[in-house]
Amino acid sequence: MGNRLEGRVAVVTGAGRGIGRCHALNLASEGAKIVVNDLGGGPGGQTDDATAQPADEVVQEIKDTGGDAVAVYDSVASMEGGERIIQTALDSFGRLDILINNAGILRDRMIYNTTEEEWDVVVAVHLKGHFACLKPAAQVFRQQRGGRIVNTSSESALGNMGQGNYAAAKEGITGLTRVVARDLGRYGVTCNSIRPRAGTRLTLDPELLEQQKRAMQSRAGGRLGGGDSDVAMTGMAAGMFKPENVSPFVTWLCTDEAANVNGRSFLVGGNLIGLYTEPTVEAALYNPQEDWTVDYISAIAPQSYLGSIKNIAPAQDPKA
């Protein structure tokens, strides 16, 4: 037990299981009081059998070790839910210092088979779910001139096959993080995001692991972007990534020691904490005439970087 977060209050969404549970326990071990949010649904966002049990158990675990915690079972996917979750911190503990946006689900499908419902539900839980809690928390943080926000993105957003809805939401979270860092940095608030690696019910699903294996085998050549997620999935299957190992860095980001870390994205898993570069223009063409034409681009493309570009996913010749 440490005391780096003594007197602080943290909301952790999706804290009933997996990585969120570990965040809640780790933050509590540094003295923070915790609002454990979890709707207790299925891995795909199913709510038929939703139960208070996961959140209640984590609250009990925290109390058993001498900490203080309260459960709230709202979904992060609506503004009312987000407001109630943040209000629970204020009503129960009188303040809010830390927001960890972590709740998440998966509905993987190739883009040509993805239904509108599968798209909407994933974007709602992840991207809108971040906004729904961020907005009321930001109002508190701005008033009190301080606070910590950690958002949850994913390596899958770098280009994992069959995860269009999830990638759209998770990369949206990375952009949102940069903006919130600027909106709130002036008030002494930091906002960063992580791309975690952890063996949980989302990643240890046998069907998902099999899908990933097939995608890796079917790839024609090297690719950029999501390449590291192959490493992640292989390690996941081998039990290399403990969810407990993600949380200490998240807790550190919430301490005073991390006051100057803002707007950045980190890979956190196993024995690695990595800092992502920010996207930048990798190569450029300039047109002395100002106005581009297709003819002009066709003429210069073969001699330029366009003629030897490194692809994210090489397009195969269907006739070959």
Ligand X SMILES: NC(=O)c1ccc[n+]([C@@H]2O[C@H](COP(=O)([O-])OP(=O)(O)OC[C@H]3O[C@@H](n4cnc5c(N)ncnc54)[C@H](O)[C@@H]3O)[C@@H](O)[C@H]2O)c1
Q: How far is the CB of 254 from ligand X (least distance, A)?
A: 17
Of the two residues 147 and 226, which places its CB atom closer to ligand X in the complex? 226
Q: How far is the CB of 54 from ligand X (least distance, A)?
A: 5
Q: How far is the CB of 150 from ligand X (least distance, A)?
A: 11
Q: How far is the CB of 313 from ligand X (least distance, A)?
A: 20
Of the two residues 185 and 274, which places its CB atom closer to ligand X in the complex? 274
Q: How far is the CB of 84 from ligand X (least distance, A)?
A: 11
The three-class DSSP label of residue 272 is: strand
Of the two residues 75 and 88, which places its CB atom closer to ligand X in the complex? 75
- Answer yes or no: are the C-beta atoms of 114 and 164 closer than 8 Å: yes
- For residue 166, indicate whether it is catalytic: yes
Task: In whole angstroms, give the CA distance from residue 190 to residue 143.
Answer: 14
Q: Which residues pair with 12 in a beta bridge?
A: 36, 100
DSSP 161-199: TTBHHHHHHHHHHHHHHHHHHHHHHTTTEEEEEEEEE--
Active-site residue, from 112, 166, 276, 296: 166
Tell me which DSSP letter residue 263 carries.
Answer: S
Of the two residues 152 and 165, which places its CB atom closer to ligand X in the complex? 152
The beta-carbon contacts of 78-82 under 8 Å, at least 24 apart in sequence, are: 78/128, 78/132, 79/132, 79/135, 81/132, 82/129, 82/131, 82/132, 82/133, 82/134, 82/135, 82/136
> Residue 78: how many CA atoms within 13 Å on its side-chain side?
7
Could you give the maximum distance between any two Cα atoms of the chain, in Å?
72
Task: In whole angstroms, give the CA distance from residue 227 to residue 200.
Answer: 21
The three-class DSSP label of residue 20 is: helix
Of the two residues 4 and 121, which places its CB atom closer to ligand X in the complex? 121
Q: Which residues bind ligand X (CB under 6 A)?
A: 13-14, 16-20, 37-41, 43, 45, 54, 75-77, 102-105, 125, 129, 152, 154, 195-198, 200-203
Query: Catalytic positions, please?
Result: 166
